[in-house]
Amino acid sequence: MSTFEDEMTTGVAGGADKTDTGPIPVAHPVLDVPVEEQNITRSRGIDWAVFGVTAVIALAFLVWGFLSTDTLADASSAALTWVMNNTGWLFVLTSTGFVVFVLYLALGRYGTIPLGRDDEEPEFNGISWVAMMFSAGMGIGLMFFGVAEPLSHFATPPPGTGAEGNPEAVQNAMATTLFHWTLHPWAIYAVVGLAIAYGVYRKGRLQLISSAFEPLLGSWANGSWGKVIDMLAIFATLFGSAASLGLGALQIRSGLQIVAGIGETGNAILIVIITVLTVCFVLSAVSGVARGIQWLSNTNMVLALALALFVFVVGPTVFILNLLPTALGSYFADLNMMSARTGAEGDDVNTWLQSWTIFYWAWWVSWTPFVGMFIARISRGRTIRQFVAGVLVVPSLVSLVWFAIFGGSAINVQQSGTDLAGEGGVERQLFTLLDQYPIATIASVVVMILVAIFFVSGADAASIVMGSLSQKGTIHPSRGTVVFWGVATGAVAAVMLLVGGKDALNGLQTITIIAALPFLLVMVAMAVALLKDLRRDPKILRREYAAEAVNSAVVAGVTQHGDDFIISVEKDPNCEERGGAQREETG
């Protein structure tokens, strides 16, 4: 008999109906209805422990960076060496583990669990949902690396993958690029997004990273351990969004140099660009999701589509079309090898991983607190299967098409004899590619606008999330808190660029990898907590409860009445004497 206790009986009657004599109390675990967040009585305002500690450490980092850039650079380099030598394997292993984990949730029995009430409809339509998710998730990275990464892997193949410039190099370049931009990063985002969305909309918990740990830590998740988790989430978000701001500033500077002809510039122009972008995303953040982020995301989607169509039409159209299936096939053919590549293969591989794969995994991990919380916020009402399908498949397909168009065009130009890979830094290569086609100036201006809006739409989500983490999980943090974290993001980006010196990109990569490591461990524990939560979900319990009860009733009915019986539900008259246990009745 079932181990669940209630006040009902599953009855089996030969040719007669039983009537329902009363509802099960709402407190029963199989009818656990989510609590509306706005109806929960909870403390509000700033969590001074979380906000105070993170703010002080962030300010100390800024002071150190501005007053003694060289010593910060030396310390960062030493820390990076330790992280790569001792934990590089962890980034590689966990990233693939997250892909397997979210696919298991989506394709298994947990896939039908809704992120909200059982009858709840999605809050945003599909197009807006995908647009906001994609812009917040990796839009600026696609602009920065859309040309640079496939071209780099083609001109200088990853160690052990063959010689440069041959047809096989094209396949390796596209496979490696897709490995970094499709299933793995979005699975990393999905872990946090699912844990937060399930806890907030299904369980009525606070919108905090720490709240997802209630299944593991119990009340400690709301105490000092929970505060430490939220602090780590803020730090990861701060440095991850600052790295994106730095990439955007580098690319906009290159665009200005080419379009406006201002020549080589130093760090001063980067600081100006960072300041302008910071002001823009802070203004967008305080305007709220509906008016700010959604409008920016939809606008950017149109501009990005227009730019991609332009390059597709004026570029090597047939080559791009041929490259799509080739890239996809090469990706799946090499997926196992790429997923298992570690520093054990030699110093060359370790150095390459530091610049590419592990940097990407660290970057995605550092983005997960705010991207995960943001996509959780816009995914209410969707099932786990819908969530995973939308988060993994749609952005991955967009990345495939994007890199085939821009990366394929760049490889085609490189093959024709123009050395795109050798002209300037990676931030210049998209503009150099566009210079091969008509209306290059207009296209370059569109690129700078896209980079700016992609960053703004992602960074305002980050500042809102950091504000929410600083204010006990409120969905609408105060403007002052949002502005503080927005300004801090801009300042940290400036320091990260200064740490890199002439190789500003290296400074961004170094600090991003270091800052992401603690939160990677948090994510592993979060996946365990989510699985424990899902095993006790009302929908899962109902399924188990129904299977056990119906099976017992059918056995009793067939035994006593053959094929002539019906199953009904009635009040158990002995429930008080037997503690609410169930029984099967036959008649």
Distance CA 37, CA 63 (A): 39
Distance CA 161, CA 178 (A): 15
Task: Please check the confidence at residue 582 and state whether its pLDDT lies above 50.
Answer: no
Instruction: Determine the length of the chain.
Output: 587
Contact 84, 343 (CB under 8 A): yes
Q: Which residue has the higher pLDDT, 361 or 354?
A: 361
- Highest mean pLDDT among 18-22, 449-453, 480-484, 527-531 belongs to 527-531
**Predicted local distance difference test score (pLDDT) of residue 386:** 92
Q: Which residue has the higher pLDDT, 251 or 506?
A: 251
Q: What's the mean per-residue pLDDT of the chain?
A: 82
Find the mean pLDDT for residues 301-317.
93
Q: Which two tokens stand for residue 486?
A: 């927005």
**Predicted local distance difference test score (pLDDT) of residue 99:** 97
Contact 484, 59 (CB under 8 A): no
How crowded is residue 302: how many other Cβ atoms within 10 Å of its Cβ? 10
Find the mean pLDDT for residues 47-75.
91
**Predicted local distance difference test score (pLDDT) of residue 265:** 67
**Predicted local distance difference test score (pLDDT) of residue 9:** 39
pLDDT tens for each residue of 372-405: 887 888 889 899 999 999 999 888 998 999 999 9
Query: What band does 558 get if pLDDT is binned at 50, 70 and 90?
Result: confident
pLDDT tens for each residue of 222-270: 899 999 999 999 999 898 888 888 888 888 888 888 877 676 666 778 8
**Predicted local distance difference test score (pLDDT) of residue 16:** 42
pLDDT tens for each residue of 80-106: 888 888 888 999 999 999 999 999 999
pLDDT tens for each residue of 163-217: 776 778 999 999 999 999 999 999 999 999 999 999 988 888 888 899 999 999 9
**Predicted local distance difference test score (pLDDT) of residue 488:** 92
Across-strand partners of 8? 571
**Predicted local distance difference test score (pLDDT) of residue 506:** 72
The 8 Å CB, 24+ separation contacts for 499-503 are 499/65, 499/69, 499/72, 499/73, 499/76, 500/73, 501/73
pLDDT tens for each residue of 111-122: 999 998 888 888
Task: Please check the confidence at residue 154 and state whether its pLDDT lies above 60.
Answer: yes
pLDDT tens for each residue of 512-527: 888 889 999 999 999 9
**Predicted local distance difference test score (pLDDT) of residue 551:** 80
**Predicted local distance difference test score (pLDDT) of residue 35:** 55
pTM: 0.84
Distance CA 32, CA 461 (A): 31
Contact 414, 157 (CB under 8 A): no
Across-strand partners of 13? 566
Q: Which two tokens stand for residue 172?
A: 């390796």
Find the mean pLDDT for residues 334-358.
87
Find the mean pLDDT for residues 281-289.
69
pLDDT tens for each residue of 480-492: 898 899 899 889 9
Find the mean pLDDT for residues 6-31.
46
